[in-house]
Amino acid sequence: MGSLDSVQTRALMKRGFIGQVGTDTPLAIRIKFTGGGSPTSVTNTAATSLVLIGTNTAGTSETVTCTYAGASDATVGACVDTINASANWSARVMDCRRSLVTTSSSLGVDTGALSTTAYEGENYYDVHTSTDVTKEFAYRITYDRHVGVNLPSRKNHRVILQEFVYYATLGGASADDVQVWEIDGTVETQRLSALSVSATATTTNWASGLGYITANDGNDILVRLVDPTSITDSTANYLTVTGFLE
């Protein structure tokens, strides 16, 4: 429990946010080079491997390989754990659950030698999901979407889900295809389960928008639309999530 001053300060700094993903834009893994040397390359081969090469301050090269087809790195979570166990790289699971498989072409959007993407002044290697393969749209509500930045202070903040809206053509509509998860590090706990709706803009909120799902301090919230049958690729697809960061 924080001090009264810290709680009041957090409330005063509360701000709204909107996050949105569409076809092939959910971010599965965000990677940052954190060594004292420099990155050499990051190469992603769908359904095969993710290979990171960089040098430390002494100029010694380090290669980190996530073998998707191997039992050890067959999920996004396992792959991120492998990267974080290395000396020069850090990674984070983003818009998916840790259990998302890598053995198919789930991570087949960004392939070959990856270029960095700048986000709020930091350079990252981003690996997005192929949504017709994963058969899901997901977005993570988190205090920030950085890797290896603000780690101590992030524990003093919390995130709040107010509403989400989605549109996608599904292979079928069924129970538990709309999900909300709270994530505490590597522990994922489902907070909401609902029936999905195909090819219709569908809004979910509570108490006419006055109700919220609030995560515990330092935790994230993941909103997922899943379909075991299929999700048709389309530029019309979207998942929009609104809430608050405090």
d(CA 101, CA 119): 26
Predicted TM-score of the model (pTM): 0.94
d(CA 25, CA 13): 29
d(CA 94, CA 26): 8
Q: What pLDDT is attached to residue 6?
A: 62
Phi, psi of 123 (to 5 degrees): -95, 130
Please give the angle made by the CA atoms of 173, 178 and 182, to the nearest 5 degrees: 165
Would you kindly state where each structural domain of the chain is located, as residue ranges?
Answer: 1-23+135-246, 27-128
- Nearest partner of 110 among 92, 124, 90, judged by Cα: 124
C-alpha dist (Å) from residue 238 to 22, 28, 82, 116, 165: 4, 16, 31, 25, 8
Q: What is the pLDDT of residues 156-187, one digit of tens each?
A: 889 999 999 999 999 999 999 999 999 999 99
Q: What is the pLDDT of residues 198-242, one digit of tens each?
A: 999 999 999 999 999 999 999 999 999 999 999 999 999 999 999
CATH level 2 (architecture), domain 1-23+135-246 = Sandwich (2.60)
Q: Please check whether residue 58 is in contact with residue 87, taking contact to mean a CB–CB distance below 8 angstroms.
A: no
Model confidence at 64, pLDDT cuts 50, 70, 90, reads very high
